[in-house]
A and B are shown apart, each in its own frame.
Chain A
Amino acid sequence: MAVSRQNALVPALYRVGEVYRELPDTVTLRLVPESGRRPPCAPGQFNMLYAFGVGEIAISISGEAADEGFLHTVREVGAVSTALARLAVGASVGVRGPYGTGWPAAQGADVIFVAGGLGLAPLRPAIRRVLAERRHYGRVAILFGTRHPAEMLYRQELEQWRRRLDVDVSVTVDHADTLWHGNVGVVPALIPRATFDPNNSVALVCGPEVMMRFTVSALREAGVPDERVYLSMERNMKCATGLCGHCQFGPEFICMTGPVMRFDRIASLFSTREA
């Protein structure tokens, strides 16, 4: 699934096919190749997106578009992400990838998705895959936490998932407003309330690292073994090919052995302070 090393540093030219406004500072871009077909990708992988004249950053693939394009959800944080998020339909973008590891297939098991904030974006392709092939999985729980009801990513899609009778969708916010009648509190608190068989479950977790630490603790307490917990790790990815070392995490390069990593393989590094 990974690109060949020979072409790994050469961006391909893509065009912005559509811009979906998700939140005031967040958009989803549909990127379509200027020529040929886009390479295959797996849920959990990322691309390097190049805003011409500004710079390049790693952005998770948040979906596969029906017309064979990539979907990327981008929040305005720094110069490059702001430039990408402000691209108009028809604008050109450089794309390298897909890179990295994907979420495990987990067929036959109960699947617990735990997402925090923008962490729902890298999980969305995996959620879509599981829901599209629902009969191959046991119980499915989607637990999503966000800061405030107004900052809820993919709200419409969450509502669609919630209407299904074969999936348990729980959403919580850290800070509620008076119109919010749902859960208030942090997303790890939803774990004891979900129904799953801890010994036959796979947990896929993505969000800010502090949130993932609390989530892992709650999963352990619920009896889910470390080797059944997968996290999407984020570090400063530059080359995405394991050459530059910017994304080093202990002995690992996140761009090569991540971003999706099995927790038991990184547990000892997880709470290590980094300079």
Chain B
Amino acid sequence: MKSLDSLLRELPFFAGLDEEHARLIAGCARNCRFEAGQYLFHEGDPADEFFLIREGRVALDVVAPGQDPIVFSTLGEGEVVGASWLVPPYRWMFDARAASPTHALGIDAACLRRKCEEDHDFGYLMMKRFLPVFVKRLHATRLQMFDVYRRG
């Protein structure tokens, strides 16, 4: 059975991570499995654990009163689920649901934030990995909003 730090380093997101930092993150991590349809988290809940998908697919949705949930993004293998753990008030802004059987690494957000505070070099390294992911998502969201396929 593989250790958590070796599982972490297999993820493209953590590629090139040195052993010490992998151990630091692994100390906040756990292995999780979600059945299709099971929620990873709900809007409004404390953002105390985020996820890295090892296998499977996760749908992000928002619910409006009287309507079915609207899926606005799906995430796949190697992708990070959840950004609200990084910024106060640390509450989820949407629901995350497994769209297929999903294996993920859950990272205790408070634990990782504390380690980032204690070691700013490590914290900066983490920011350099997370920030591009979220900037890319922002760009993708803009493209989605442009509605580029609408009738001319």
Contacts and interface: CB of A to CB of B under 8 A. Distances in A.
A is bound by B: yes
Interface of A: 25, 75, 77-78, 116-118, 145-147, 151, 172, 174-176, 178, 180-186, 188-189, 192-193, 207-208, 210-211, 214
Contacts, number: 64
A175 B144 CA distance: 8
Given A176-B71, A180-B71, A193-B77, A188 B148 contact: no
A14 to B, nearest CB: 25
Given A181-B99, A185-B73, A186-B140, A210 B149 contact: no
Nearest to A170: B76
A186 B141 CA distance: 8
A15 B101 CA distance: 52
Question: Which of A75, A151, A186, A208 has the largest number of chain B CB atoms within 10 A?
Answer: A186
Contacts of A211: 143, 148-149
Interface string B62-88: 000000111111101110000000000
Nearest to A145: B149
A208 B150 CA distance: 10
Contacts of A193: 76-77
B143 A188 contact: yes
A92 to B, nearest CB: 26
Given A151-B149, A182-B74, 9 more contacts: A117-B148, A118-B149, A147-B150, A175-B144, A184-B71, A185-B74, A207-B149, A211-B143, A214-B140
A89 B144 CA distance: 38
Nearest to A78: B152
9 closest Cβ pairs, A-B complex: A117-B149, A147-B149, A208-B148, A77-B152, A178-B68, A176-B71, A186-B143, A184-B71, A183-B74
A77 B151 contact: yes
A256 to B, nearest CB: 24
B12 to A, nearest CB: 8
Contacts of B99: 181
A185 B149 contact: no
B16 to A, nearest CB: 15
B59 interface: yes
A210 B74 contact: no
Contacts of B150: 147
Contacts of A118: 149
B139 interface: yes
